[in-house]
Chain A
């Protein structure tokens, strides 16, 4: 609320400045027009007009009452100077100029005075004083009715403008506040929804891994297995979409225990930490409750670490995903990254140390490794070892 009030005051000040300066220019043009006032008068009022214009300009940026005082004082001074020096030769031009000055140029302060508690009495006093001055002093120059009407029109319309804006702001602020409340609720709901989906993912989701396999056209995986996996994943997503928070303990044939609680999980944790220290963040999904003969486990972990090392060195990203799944005969790890990828035929796989470190190691324990990649769509390595 404070902010909008500040903005409101700035708006009123700028409006007052624009109005004041415009009509000051008009008033000056009228008085400076040939034949309106004598040369002595003109010389005297030019600096006064300069002061007036400067104060009106300052009113646009400063809330100090002093500028209002300067505006009113210099304006009244102009009136006095002209009326005193030109008593004998009243002209229509001077009358028009003074009318503009008193009824519009000075009335611009009413826009600013319309806001604030103590400002309204000030405004009333100002209007009365200036009104009497303008009407009485200009009496010989133009008809009384004319002066009064012009003065009333000028000051009332300026006050109306200021008061109207002041009245509009709280209404608008209330509506904005209610929009803000709705928005906060929406943000909260959005946050909860994202949280729900994310939690469901991090716990037991193989969607990412399956999608990555599909990204390589599903080559190298038995179509039936992939179809079954896709069906499972689609079911999970459907459940999510329909509002459920699926918490199955098994997804298809895969165990869904949190990985940290198991032996392999602990080992993986240390792998993860090791790569985390080197700047590669490893997230993994799927089961960790895998019991493997120790030689197989060693080969598996070494191959996995080697793959992660390749990701760290070549992929250009700082994040890799490892999905571990197992069935009756094999344990499978999918290492995926969203990095630069490469054309398989272009890069000698030996250069990546792939053949020696990964393929050979796994072969020794009866496993195998497959590599999928294409430029721009990341790399997936599938490691398989028998149970």
Chain B
């Protein structure tokens, strides 16, 4: 029985099979794990440019000090190898998709390593690595070409190894104690070789997080147009899966393939199917767009909790929903102090009893947003603009964290239906 089939939605998220009787909640969306992070190839091109710029600078130095080498040919070979590595790395990063094959990485790093070794050999007799190392220093920038196509940690390891190699050679080869003025040059050359790649790894990591966050936000944004009660993204697929399993079971009973009375195993399959179907058919519809937005989002799911006993969030119109979602989003995403644990609790309702209830009278739904770890002055100003779209709001501070009361006016569902 194909009870649990692996399914994948358009985002490549594998819908994890849910077992037993608690399949009523959609699993929190684990976020699209894209093999191809958006914008990577463009950033890779930029990294290649910076890399080439650095190589050009080093090459200039190499040409300028040609006469100083005791064996300039060795240094020349070192440079040829380094430029080869640059081309190999750039081409491979461009054409091997976003994930460079490991063997190309190994070849690339081997060429770079040989180039560094040859350069250090060529300048050994000069006993001033900082001043004369050219391709050995530029190698740190050449590593940049692979920064978008391999995991950051690999680039960092290569970078650190290069730094260690340079430091070791400097300690062995250069007489720092004897020549006091020589130290700064050694420092700058090591810094040149190691800092750019380190920061590039941080930059690329930050960029990917930014893309992931935006993707998450845009996907969650689609809940704004959902009906008052909505099923989650995965509900219909779940339902279809359960229906199919039920159909197969019923069919096999009807045709006599499965003899009656049923064996305990088949009976328990029927039991779990009935339970899951029941939960899906009835429970699922009580959840509002806001519930789905929070559970489907990687970002919101972690720190936002929702209390909405009357499912009143469903009454908000598109504009109010958009404002509320943006405000919550901005409260959570404001990461001035990454260490700070911030949580947001959104409480919707209960409806304020209005004496003037009647046709055409709007209902007042109070929304209370309580937070922890978010001080008033840390709140992004556009959060308030977003809240203004939801309704009249007032903010206060409790336990040094912001608390916001919004009075949200919504159409009376009774009027709408009438």
Contacts and interface: CB of A to CB of B under 8 A. Distances in A.
Contact of B281 (A92, A180, A202): A202
Interface string B297-314: 000000000000000000
Residue from A23, A161, A228 whose CB has the most chain B CB atoms within 10 Å: A161
A15 B202 contact: yes
Interface string A82-96: 000000000111101
Interface residues of B, number: 94
A171 B46 contact: no
Interface of A: 2-4, 6-8, 11, 14-15, 18-19, 22-23, 26, 29-31, 33-36, 61, 91-94, 96-97, 99-100, 149, 153, 156-157, 160-161, 164-165, 167-169, 171-173, 175-177, 179-180, 182-184, 186-191, 193-195, 197-198, 201-202, 207-208, 210-212, 214-219, 223, 226-228, 230-231, 233-234, 237-238, 240-241, 283, 319, 321, 336, 338, 376-378
A175 to B, nearest CB: 5
Given A26-B187, A208-B281, 7 more contacts: A34-B180, A96-B184, A153-B54, A168-B207, A182-B10, A187-B233, A190-B237
A286 B268 CA distance: 24
Contacts of B60: 149
B218 A61 contact: no
A31 B184 CA distance: 8
Given A93-B184, A160-B49, A173-B214, A22 B191 contact: yes
A287 B255 CA distance: 26
Contacts, number: 274
By Cβ-Cβ distance, the 3 closest A-B pairs, closest first, are A231-B254, A215-B271, A180-B218
B203 A377 contact: no
Nearest to A337: B278
A179 B38 CA distance: 11
Contacts of B250: 207, 210-211, 214, 230-231, 233-234, 237
Interface string B308-334: 000000000000000000100110010
Contacts of A190: 231, 233-237
A319 B329 CA distance: 35
Contact of B218 (A153, A176, A230): A176
Contacts of B234: 190
A293 B98 CA distance: 76
Interface string B202-234: 110011001101110111011101110011011
Given A18-B199, A22-B191, A197-B240, A234 B183 contact: no
Given A29-B184, A194-B235, A338-B275, A227 B222 contact: no
B239 interface: yes
A280 to B, nearest CB: 13
B181 interface: yes
B273 interface: yes
Given A237-B246, A378-B271, A92 B185 contact: yes
12 contacts: A3-B333, A6-B380, A14-B206, A92-B184, A93-B185, A149-B57, A168-B207, A179-B215, A217-B264, A218-B253, A230-B251, A377-B272
Contact of A193 (B240, B251, B278): B240
Interface in B233-260: 233-237, 239-240, 243-244, 246-247, 249-251, 253-256, 260
Contacts of B53: 153, 156-157, 160
Contact of B254 (A31, A91, A186, A228): A228
A215 B274 contact: yes
A96 B60 CA distance: 18
Contact of B46 (A8, A94, A164): A164
A167 B360 CA distance: 50
B188 to A, nearest CB: 5
A168 B271 contact: no
B279 A338 contact: yes
Given A8-B210, A172-B214, A33 B225 contact: no
Nearest to A184: B222
A240 B243 contact: yes
